[in-house]
Amino acid sequence: MFCFQCQETAMNTGCTVKGVCGKPEETANLQDLLIFVLKGISVYGEKLKELGTDRTNDAFIAEGLFATITNVNWDNARFTALIKEGLQRRDQLKTKFLATYKGKTGQDFNGPLPEAATWFADDSAAFTDKVESVGVLATKNEDVRSLRELLTIGLKGIAAYADHAAVLGFHKAEIYDFMMEALASTTKDLSVDEMIGLVMKAGKTAVDTMALLDEANTTAYGHPEITEVNIGVRQNPGILISGHDLKDMEELLKQTEGTGIDVYTHGEMLPANYYPAFKKYNHFVGNYGGSWWHQNKEFESFNGPILLTTNCLVPLKKDDTYLHRLYTTGVVGYEGATHIPDRLEGGVKDFSALIAKAKNCPPPTEIETGSIVGGFAHNQVLALADKVVDAVKSGAIKRFVVMAGCDGRQKTRSYYTEVAEKLPADTVILTAGCAKYRYNKLALGNIGGIPRVLDAGQCNDSYSLAVIALKLKEAFGLNDINELPVSYDIAWYEQKAVAVLLALLFLGVKGIRLGPTLPAFLSPNVAKVLVEKFDIKPIGTVEEDIAAMMSRK
């Protein structure tokens, strides 16, 4: 195996025996083979776009990319099934393309095709033989490899957000068209400028996708509101829901209403507490625990069933702890866990198994008490725009620091807690994603009633932070987003954070600090381009970075 798609990558180079995340070699290789198959589908999909339209593989490509994100799917059987289905879909698409081409031109197609569009096997043994030649290292040129992987890894994040929107019935053909264009591009010999152009186009597509998901979420559940979220527990049995999928949240709340079972969020599902549509449920208690990497301990102490709707699912240390209470759904998979099947068209998922399990479980063990405040998405902050602008003009707020992104296990991530603690009292932190757990429970106070930590929501709600920045630029009459009193100190872990980063670069944001480390998939030359063009820089010491951010004009 060779995997370097997440921030935990061994020695910041690549995992070659087993992923630091826990991913076994076989799983890593099957994921590489699935990406290879998706490239083959995309080759024909892109060609068919020139001849007509074919939308039959949009959802499959998005779900396939999503399944390979760090900490989503650990089930080799599921990947094998996806590969087999992908090969069947690719060959059906090939047949359609050849027929369409001949119908349009009157000739048989005899152009060159990449191996991803022609290779076929139908048994697991052949898959094992093939994976060694289709992984990341199959691209020998380091800079070409870096640009291809930066694009592919960004695509994975885009696919995750597109899948969330699709679940709520929101689609945009241009997003799926770009996925195919980008995947197919990695089978071609392109110039550096062409590859960089595609990376920037991925940034635009990431913005469009997050905007679509924002529209989907707010249309279905209303705009997030400033909310005080309980972090204690009650004495009823409970179900804990983690991940990002709000449709699963809605259906779980409806099916548990009146059962005597409470529902709690965990990790990136915390922002579900901010949506008006969910507040009407009296058995929706609040949030339990912190970010994803604490789950081995927190899932154990919760005592009741746990539903994983998306990433991040950490491997269990011992299967005899809470595996019998672990349920997965959607793209998530874990061998030994109970998988809740997808809803049929027009139907709902059946969570009766979780409900039955919860009724025989003790209440959650209390691990903390109190509350945290969130719900500062763009609609809510813009409602306070006059107050915010006045605070900036008066000097009460000197600077905003965007500390969005991911949390992670490395001790060096204490940097973000220390930055939050040591930032001057006239600064406001804008956050989204699970990075917030490094500081959202600190007593940082407020500035004239404006909390010093404004939590916009999940990682995809980084879009809200961009909207807020663009509106502030307009309010202050500025020409450049970089003229705002805003600094960016971003934490990343997995591939959705890469999509967010590309979105910020597309929007023209410069001077981003990125940590705890720069991505291993950036070759020295590609990293140099990003530094020169966008002034991306690694984090430094807490004191030096705060001083630099506060002095930036």
Kindly report, residue by residue over 432-462, the tens digit of the pLDDT. 999 999 999 999 999 999 999 999 999 999 9
Quick: pLDDT tens for 225-234: 999 999 999 9
What gap in Å lies between CA 11 and CA 15, rounded to an integer?
8
Distances in Å between the Cα of 411 and the Cα atoms of 23, 312, 416, 521 are: 21, 19, 11, 22
Q: Any idea what the CATH number is for the domain that residue 81 is in?
A: 1.20.1270.20
332: Cα separation from own chain's centroid? 13
Q: Are residues 162 and 238 in the same domain?
A: no
CB-based contact 506:207 (threshold 8 Å): yes
Residue 53 has pLDDT above 80, yes or no: no
Mean predicted confidence (pLDDT) in 75-90: 96
Residues 273, 410, single domain; the answer is no
What is the pTM (predicted TM-score) of this model? Answer: 0.96
Q: Could you give the percent of the chain with pLDDT greater than 90?
A: 94
Q: What is the mean pLDDT of residues 117-122?
A: 94
pLDDT score recorded for residue 553 = 54
Neighbours of 446 (CB within 10 A): 12
- Does one domain contain both 244 and 349? yes
Among 124-133, 174-183, 297-306, the range scoring the smallest mean pLDDT is: 124-133
Percent of the chain with pLDDT strictly greater than 70: 100
What is the model's pLDDT at position 108? Answer: 95
Residue 277 included in any domain: yes
Instruction: Say whether both 62 and 186 belong to one domain.
Output: yes
Choose the final residue of a domain: 187, 220, 253: 220
pLDDT at 406: 96
Of residues 318 and 529, the one with the higher pLDDT is: 529
Mean pLDDT (the chain) is 96
319 and 414, same structural domain?
A: no
In this predicted model, which residue has the larger pLDDT, 345 or 81?
A: 81
Confidence of residue 318 (pLDDT cuts 50, 70, 90): confident
Please write the tens of the pLDDT for every residue from 320-342.
899 999 999 999 999 999 999 99
Task: Confirm whether 365 is domain-assigned.
Answer: no
Q: What integer pLDDT is reported at residue 515 of this predicted model?
A: 96
Regarding whether 339 and 231 lie in a shared domain, the answer is yes
Query: Residue 552: which pLDDT band, with cuts at 50, 70 and 90?
Result: confident
Q: What is the pLDDT of residue 351?
A: 98
- Amino acid 123: pLDDT: 84
- Using one digit for the tens of pLDDT, what is the confidence trace for 266-290? 999 999 999 999 999 999 999 999 9
Q: Are residues 303 and 277 in the same domain?
A: yes
Domain encompassing residue 48: 10-220
Please say if the pLDDT value at position 3 is more than 90.
yes
Q: Say if 196 falls within a structural domain.
A: yes
Asked whether residue 236 is assigned to any structural domain, the reply reads: yes
Last residue of a domain, one of 305, 329, 358: 358
Task: Tell me: do 431 and 544 sit in the same domain.
Answer: yes
Residue ending a domain, choose from 358, 389, 416 = 358
The answer to whether position 72 is within a domain reads yes
Q: What does the alpha-carbon distance between residue 238 and residue 136 come to, in Å, rounded to a whole number?
A: 43
Decide if 498 is inside a domain.
yes
> What's the CATH number where 465 sits?
3.40.50.2030
Q: Do residues 50 and 125 both lie within one domain?
A: yes
Residues 61 and 206 in one domain: yes
Residue entry with tokens 């011992």: 318
Q: Report pLDDT for 270.
A: 98
Residues 234 and 214 in one domain: no
The 10s digit of each residue's pLDDT in 456-489 is 999 999 989 999 999 999 999 999 999 999 999 9
Considering the domain boundaries, does residue 30 fall inside one? yes
pLDDT of residue 128: 86
One domain for residues 90 and 152: yes
Q: At 215, is the pLDDT very low, low, confident or very high (cuts 50, 70, 90)?
A: very high
Query: 477: which 2 tokens?
Result: 């009459």
Stretch 402-408: mean pLDDT: 96
Q: What is the mean pLDDT of residues 380-388?
A: 92
Please give the order of strands across the beta sheet that includes 537-538. Answer: 453-455, 427-431, 399-402, 486-491, 513-515, 537-538
pLDDT in tens, 484-506: 999 999 999 999 999 999 999 99
Q: Note whether residue 5 is domain-resident.
A: no
Between 131 and 250, whose confidence is greater?
250
Q: How many domains does the chain have?
A: 3
